[in-house]
Structure 1
Amino acid sequence: MTLPIPQIQIQSVSGRIGIQSQSGQYEIRQTPATIDIQTTDTVIDIQTEQPVVIIDMTKTRNALSGGKPEAFWNRIYSSYQDCAIRYIQRTVQEYNQIGDLTAGGNPVADVAKQSLSQQDLKLNVFGPAAYDNVDFQAIISKPEVNVQVGRADINVKVNKPDIQYNRGSVNVYMEQYASVTITPPIIDLTY
């Protein structure tokens, strides 16, 4: 007869540790930086002279009234030379016409008739009448510019931050204790 082998029963329960934590918190406060700005304006000094305009109306006066007496008489004298040359040319042309024996008719009468219809030569004692008889000359001086550059002085005062730290917490506890249960064998001694 075989007897059963008694067995021991062992039961174990694991332990459990519970942890609860709360984070720490930073509290930061900082006032804005203080800025102090002082400026100096730019100064511009400009010195200029009035422009000078020179108007020459000599040609206009010469055309209207003959101009200054000296210039007027000089033009008359120089015109006489031109006028004398033109009269000489006309006279030579007339005598050439009279002396031409090949021409028919009465050359002396023809020349006399032509001289009646011819205009007298004019003396140029006045200046020419033109649209540009007035001369302008402008004298413009460059301006003298002095610049004193302004500036800005900037002072910045940085305010330190106020930092506070509130600590967190960690709570460690036993959620379940470990245990071992041993059940001894039951031995039946009756036979």
Structure 2
Amino acid sequence: MNIPQIRMESKFARIGIAHEPPVQEMEQPKAELSIQQPPAELTIERIPGKLTIDQVQAWEEMNLKSPFRLTEEFAQTGYHDWLNGMGRIAEQGDELMRIENGGNPIADQAKENSENPLYEFNIGWIPSPFSVKINYTPGKIEIQSKVNKPIIEANPNKPVHRYRPGKVNIYVERLNSLAIDFVNRKV
């Protein structure tokens, strides 16, 4: 038997989702760094030591004198000898002037004038102790240093951040539908 029928066919709507993920990129550039180290400043002042040795007295005691000193001494000795000779001649003249007082002044004076004088002699080439004068002034060293600090310049670079947000697209992939059909119907 054929019974009339109504056939209904329905389809649900289908939603489609297209997803595009987000993209994030981060980059950290290196910092720009400049370091300079100025050299230290060093100043050294040196005052040299001074040594003086005076041997004049030692040389003179060994009779090794400079020509100027010898000339000066000879001049002084000659002057003293000349004064002594004048005094002796004056004294002998006074004795001859008083010849009447007795004695034998002519023979005494002849004997005195003809004798060589006695000279003292000693070892002349050995100077006395401490005849060489030594003086020493020590030197000085002054050191001054100045430390220069390093010059550091740092420029940090900001991070580079790139971000592209993700997308979600929602769309209707299939629309809902309802299909109605009549079967076995009599018209």
Q: What's the TM-score bracket when you normalise by the shorter of the two chains?
A: 0.3 to 0.5
Scaled by the length of structure 2, what TM-score is found? 0.39
Structure having greater relative contact order (Cα 8 Å, sep ≥ 6): 2
